Amino acid sequence: MDILETIVANKREEVAYQKEAVPLDVLFRLGSHRFSRQPVSMRQALEESSSGIIAEFKRRSPSKGWLSPHAKVEEVIPVYERDGAAACSILTDSRFFGGTFGDLQSARSLVQLPLLRKDFIVDDYQIYQSRVLGADTILLIAACLTKERCKHLARVAHQLDLEVLLEIHEKDELSHYNDDVDMLGVNNRNLGTFHTAIENSFRMMQFLQSELGTGDEVPLFISESGISDLKEMNALRAAGFRGFLIGETMMKNGKLFNY
């Protein structure tokens, strides 16, 4: 199995255990107060932001190992907000990325920014879980879902007032796009090999615009991974991207680019 297949297989096992340990009705009772909170629109925040930066909190990567093993949400996330991030992405996968559910819950209590739960979502249960944890947006990864499953999960997310960021890497994954997708992310990292090349965003943009068009009726385009400086971000903006998900560079520097 490649890296993505290994991660998804493990995720299915994790979710099966979580559903048994905390059935959906119990999850509802434990998180009832969260459902009264109106999620914040990440798409709107990106559209209105001068930076467009989605600053990510993650401690490790399957390809590079530990980036910042002792990083604390309470020390990092408020700095992202202070420095002008439009949104934050919180890794909640523990085994491969060093994240926890507590990281997302803590972030929710610390900042007003929209929060993306970044994980490998394969089951409805995880979407309800995301709402309880305080997420505003969920990530759906085309490479680990069928088109039908992606459409179903996106619809469930909208029923819970959560926005959807669909992540693709290749042109043929555009077929996963559906009416419940709010933002479309191009991952510059191949999740099978974890090789990263920012050129992938520029290559994919021509397909996005020709297939989906431009304007308010299409999803907001986001470039993900491998962005290391302001020059690259500005070039991506000129190409048509309005959001920039930046993780490893932010975690290593502990601050946003001086845009």
Structure tokens that stand for 108 in this block: 């929710």
**129 against 211, higher pLDDT:** 129
**Per-residue pLDDT tens digits for 135-146:** 999 999 999 999
∠ CA 230-235-240, nearest 5°, is 125
**Per-residue pLDDT tens digits for 58-104:** 998 877 777 778 889 999 999 999 999 999 999 999 999 999 999 99
Under CATH, which number does the domain 3-253 receive? 3.20.20.70
- The total number of residues shown for the chain amounts to 259
Helix residue spans in 22-159 (DSSP H) = 24-30, 42-48, 73-82, 101-110, 124-133, 147-159
Domain boundaries, the chain: 3-253
> What is the percentage of the chain residues whose pLDDT exceeds 90?
75
Instruction: Output the pTM of the full model.
Output: 0.94
Coil/strand/helix, residue 57: strand
For 87, phi and psi rounded to 5 degrees?
-160, 170
Contact 239, 206 (CB under 8 A): no
